[in-house]
């Protein structure tokens, strides 16, 4: 059926015909892009350039009901998968690109992407889930593979994703954050704390504020007193730095665990950052920070923090999955 809809004619005989699709020009190492746009009416002066890009014939389409041009199909696919804070551009060489309209966290439904790509003649390529994106960042590209596609395949995708968010971008929420730094060596002034400037910089990058830092020695009751004070102040997030190792003097995990209404994890398979602890006191997330935050640019803390700052709750299963692709050469 598809071949019956396509009429092939020589380029020299194409003057006055309308192009049915974009034509690409490639000059290795110099240029790759659209030489002629769909809908262009071929003129006599176009013939040499068409021959130069290797086009000795063009297709003219004899449309039949139930079929779509690649550009129209790509537009419908993009509209079906584009969620909150996602924009789409005009078709270019049969492809529509989706971009972010904000600074935020990209949310990609991986399983839905796989299901969409099981549909005949459909292609959807996306960035990875949970990637931090800027306004204008590319999120995905979608198209159909043939020049003319049966409409039923596009309709199948539309039904598959109906009411679901395939691609969206979540805004970062400005959190008020309290920091409890533990360790008798810092509390007694023997060494200077180095956590605060690092944590403050990371929070400010997402629009959140470190409102106060408290210090406590390696004493469970005193650590809990400072944590509870932040709970009473109704901060949005509590961070506990120091005292998270397996040393007998490190009391932070015990202090957090005794106060928590839920402990999501004490430890992760991601390296660096395997000693990260995630718990909740009521609705307030409490993170026990691994020592790697001090010297490694990216740890399990950096993987989890953006999720929390868009208002999500990280699950134990998601923590387990951090191990795959979670080794950063520490």
* Torsion over CA: 76, 80, 85, 86 (sign): negative
CATH 3.40.980.10 domain extents, the chain:
176-321
E strand segments, the chain: 6-10, 23-27, 31-36, 57-61, 67-69, 86-88, 96-100, 104-108, 122-126, 132-133, 138-144, 148-150, 167-171, 176-182, 209-216, 237-241, 262-266, 277-281, 284-289
Taken in order 91, 94, 97, 98, the sign of the CA dihedral is positive
In this structure, how many other beta carbons lie within 10 angstroms of the beta carbon of residue 225?
Answer: 14
Strand pairing partners for 23?
A: 36
- Which residues, other chains included, contact 297 with Cβ-Cβ below 8 Å and sequence gap of 6+? none
pLDDT bucket at 248, cuts 50 / 70 / 90: low
Q: Which residues contact 181 (CB under 8 A, 6 or more apart)?
A: 193, 195, 196, 213, 214, 215, 216, 240, 241, 242
43 contacts 15 by C-beta, under 8 angstroms: yes
Class of the domain covering 2-61: alpha beta
CATH architecture of 176-321: 3-Layer(aba) Sandwich (3.40)
Which tokens in the block code for residue 191?
């060494």
Q: Where in the chain is the domain with CATH 3.90.1170.30?
A: 67-170
State residue 1's pLDDT score: 42
Q: What is the mean pLDDT of residues 274-292?
A: 96
Query: 């889930």: which residue's tokens?
Result: 129
Burial class of residue 71, CB neighbours in 10 A (0-12, 13-18, 19+): buried
- Look-up: residue for tokens 């995630």? 278
pTM of the model: 0.85
Structure tokens at 275: 């000693």
Q: Is the pLDDT of residue 224 over 80?
A: yes
Calculate mean pLDDT across residues 162-172.
97
Instruction: Tell whether the model's pLDDT for residue 2 goes beyond 70.
Output: no
CATH 3.90.105.10 positions along the chain are 2-61
Q: What is the C-alpha separation between 292 and 108, in angstroms, rounded?
A: 28
What band does 246 get if pLDDT is binned at 50, 70 and 90?
low
CB 116 within 8 A of CB 161: yes
Annotation: CATH topology of 67-170: Aldehyde Oxidoreductase; domain 3 (3.90.1170)
- Residue 249 class from Cβ within 10 Å (0-12 exposed, 13-18 middle, 19+ buried)? exposed
Q: Which of 32-46, 152-166, 184-198 has the lowest mean pLDDT?
A: 32-46
More confident residue, 251 or 269: 269
Cis peptide leading into residue 272 (ω within 30°): yes
Q: What is the pLDDT of residues 127-162, one digit of tens each?
A: 999 999 999 999 999 999 998 899 999 999 999 999
Nearest to 13 by CA among 61, 59, 53, 63: 59
Residue 105 has pLDDT above 90, yes or no: yes
């Amino acid at each position: 059926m598809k071949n019956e809809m396509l009429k092939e004619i020589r380029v020299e005989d194409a003057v006055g015909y309308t192009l049915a699709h974009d034509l690409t020009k490639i000059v290795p190492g110099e240029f790759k892009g659209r030489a002629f746009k769909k809908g262009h009416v071929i003129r006599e002066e176009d013939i040499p350039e068409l021959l130069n890009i290797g086009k000795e014939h063009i297709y003219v389409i004899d449309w039949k009901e139930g079929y779509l041009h690649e550009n129209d199909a790509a537009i419908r696919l993009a509209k079906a998968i584009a969620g909150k804070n996602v924009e789409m551009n005009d078709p270019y060489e049969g492809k529509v690109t989706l971009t972010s309209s904000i600074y935020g966290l990209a949310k990609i439904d991986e399983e839905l992407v796989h299901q969409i790509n099981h549909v005949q003649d459909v292609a959807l390529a996306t960035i990875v889930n949970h990637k931090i994106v800027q306004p204008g960042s590319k999120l995905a590209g979608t198209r159909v593979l043939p020049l003319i596609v049966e409409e039923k395949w596009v309709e199948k995708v539309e039904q598959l994703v109906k009411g679901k968010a395939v691609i969206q971008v979540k805004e970062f929420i400005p959190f008020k954050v309290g920091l409890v730094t533990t360790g008798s060596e810092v509390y007694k002034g023997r060494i200077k704390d180095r956590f605060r400037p690092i944590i403050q910089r990371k929070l400010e990058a997402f629009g959140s504020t470190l409102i106060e830092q408290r210090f406590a020695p390696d004493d469970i009751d005193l650590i809990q007193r400072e944590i509870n004070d932040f709970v009473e102040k109704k901060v949005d997030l509590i961070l506990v730095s120091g005292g998270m190792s397996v040393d007998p003097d490190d009391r932070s995990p015990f202090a957090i665990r005794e106060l928590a209404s839920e402990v999501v994890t004490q430890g992760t398979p991601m390296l660096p950052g395997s000693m990260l602890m995630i718990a909740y006191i009521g609705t307030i997330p409490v993170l026990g920070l691994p020592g790697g935050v001090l010297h490694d640019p990216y740890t399990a803390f950096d993987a989890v923090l953006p999720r929390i700052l868009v208002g999500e709750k990280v699950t134990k299963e998601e923590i387990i999955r951090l191990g795959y692709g979670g080794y950063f050469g520490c």
